[in-house]
Amino acid sequence: MSEFFGIILQKISDQNTIIKCLDSIESLCDCRVFELLNHPSLVETMVRYLNQDATFEPTIEALCEGIKNSKYADILNSSKFEPAMKEIKEGVKESVKKIIEFLVQDVYPKYVNLKDNLDSLYCMGTTQLATFIGVYFNIFILENSDHSKALVKFLLVCSSHRNKKISAKTFDFWTAWRQNIVSEDVIDYVKNGDFNYIVESYLDLYKIVIEKCKLNSLKIVSIQEARKTKIYNVDTDQEEDYDEDYTIIDLKKQNFSIREYRHTAEDVLYDCLITLSTLQGQEGTAALFSLILPILAPEYPTNNNINLSDPNARADYLLNCEVVIFSVKFMLDNCNDNEPHPFILEMIKNMILLPREDILTRGILNFLAEASGQVKFIPEYSDKLFEFCLKDIMNPNLLGAASKCFQDFSETIGDRISFGTLEQIAQIMDSIIYNIEVIFWVVKISPFPLGYRIE
């Protein structure tokens, strides 16, 4: 059958016939009655059709179906690295390498020139192809060869594409790769080899993703306006209503909004931390937080000549702080609340000193609520933390986040605050009866364990 397809693709010039041939290959692979990757000469012929506009899409679809439905797809899910590599047929290895070679030699230069093009179907399709190789045959990426490193480099470029939907396509690879790297069948093989490029790749990925997750402010004309910053998508120049609540992704859209991209990025940010901490322990964790902690340090604006009295410079600084806080919030699942996490505690100490602007304070409050299990390890900050969330308990823009933070602090450090802080709480509770909106939130808060100290 492969010879028949090969003859059509090599000898016939009629475009419609070629497209029908490619569609047939896709259908047979989808039905699992044809092992495309067993035939490297056919694969080599097919990839050439990626250079023609009319045959580009059907070629991508046929190759992806052949990869996904291969007998050896996801082989690391059921076998250790070395036995799995021996089990894969030489023809399949050759086919995968031919696809990788085409991606890194032919596609890469063209892709780099198009990665700022929001509507590039070429980038969308080749990203999908590279991601499928990475997801279903990441065993070859763990081979630690020039091919594997080149494909990872290409996937990082795909992750940096201006179109957030194209960037998000690669996340399936980064998650699948992380799962295999840290699995019992593979982790010893990785730790015993020279795999620094894996660590460097996930650090680069983290920097790429948080930059793309950064909220973007409209032009600000005064400091007062900075407190009311609106968000817009720099790719479309359209304003967006940003909300951290659950986001439904519209897959039919050509691009993702910032909110949609952030929602899809949550897992891959977590993947970065897990990969680094698994491969390098505390050193790997420290490498990641070295990208975060300096930005939140009180001296950062001074050391980087940021003029906070300049509205635009101030807004950019606030948004840089907000995005790094966002990026860590979803890593908190990796924290053991039975022991202190030094990097998280340092973040908490610094973030409550940051400028109070709604767009940043909301992120801090949400982070502190998630990190409430850690705050018990810094009892000397109990009053400061309560005071931080109480300042915005009456702010309609931050009411929900402040109330949730207040509730979680009450459950974890409510018995450690001073009488002065208790008086502040009492005063706020007394004023609540005049604010219906605040009552709505406060009645959702369970009785806090600091009540027994009030006589």
Listed residues 317, 344, 375: the one ending a domain: 375
- SS3 label, residue 232: strand
Degrees (nearest 5) of the Cα angle 165, 269, 373? 140
Range scoring the smallest mean pLDDT among 89-93, 237-241, 310-314: 237-241
Any domain includes 251: yes
Examine the pLDDT at 254 and tell me if it is beyond 90: no
The residue assigned the tokens 């029908």 is 20
Any domain includes 115: no
Any domain includes 417: yes
Rounded to two decimals, the pTM is 0.85
How many residues are listed for the chain in this entry? 455
Any domain includes 143: no
Determine what percent of the chain falls in helix, strand and coil, rounding each to the nearest 5: 70, 0, 30
Number of domains in the chain: 2
Listed residues 321, 349, 375: the one ending a domain: 375
- SS3 label, residue 238: strand
- Summarised one tens digit per residue, pLDDT across range 225-235 is 444 444 544 55
Confidence (pLDDT) at 248:
42
363 with 423, same domain: the answer is: no
Q: Which domain holds residue 338?
A: 195-375
365 with 437, same domain: the answer is: no
Confidence (pLDDT) at 253:
58
Cβ neighbours around 44 below 10 Å, total: 16
Distance CA 248, CA 258 (A): 12
297 with 423, same domain: the answer is: no
Helix axes 358-370, 382-390, angle to 10 degrees: 130
Cβ neighbours around 221 below 10 Å, total: 10
218 with 287, same domain: the answer is: yes
428 with 297, same domain: the answer is: no
Structural contact between residues 210 and 324, judged by C-beta atoms closer than 8 angstroms: yes
387 with 322, same domain: the answer is: no
- SS3 label, residue 372: coil
Distance CA 217, CA 230 (A): 6
Range scoring the smallest mean pLDDT among 115-119, 226-230, 328-332: 226-230
Listed residues 375, 403, 431: the one ending a domain: 375
- Looking at residue 35, its amino acid is E
311 with 400, same domain: the answer is: no
What does R_g of the chain's alpha carbons equal in angstroms? 26
**Sign for the pseudo-dihedral over CA of 178, 205, 66, 5:** negative
367 with 394, same domain: the answer is: no
Any domain includes 276: yes
Is 250 buried (19+), middle (13-18) or exposed (0-12) by CB count in 10 A? exposed
Task: State how far the alpha carbon of 289 is from the alpha carbons of 198, 228, 274, in Å.
Answer: 17, 30, 13
The band of 184, judged by pLDDT with boundaries at 50, 70 and 90, is: confident
Confidence (pLDDT) at 394:
73
Mean pLDDT across the stretch 305-319? 89
Distance CA 373, CA 25 (A): 54
Any domain includes 420: yes
248 with 343, same domain: the answer is: yes
Task: State how far the alpha carbon of 66 is from the alpha carbons of 60, 170, 307, 438, in Å.
Answer: 10, 19, 55, 57
- Per-residue buried b or exposed e for 426-453, using 16+ beta carbons within 10 Å of the residue's own CB: eebeeebeeeeebeebbeeeeebebeee
Any domain includes 127: no
Distance CA 93, CA 75 (A): 13
Confidence (pLDDT) at 20:
95
The residue assigned the tokens 């027994």 is 452
342 with 434, same domain: the answer is: no
Enumerate the β-bridge partners of residue 233.
238
| N-to-C CA span, the chain | 87
Cα dihedral 124→126→132→137 (10° resolution): -160
304 with 441, same domain: the answer is: no
Closest CA to 340 of 368, 371, 384: 371
199 with 333, same domain: the answer is: yes
Any domain includes 3: no
- Looking at residue 437, its amino acid is E
Range scoring the smallest mean pLDDT among 66-70, 324-328, 360-364, 401-405: 401-405
- Summarised one tens digit per residue, pLDDT across range 386-438 is 888 888 777 777 878 888 888 888 888 777 777 676 766 666 666 655 554 44
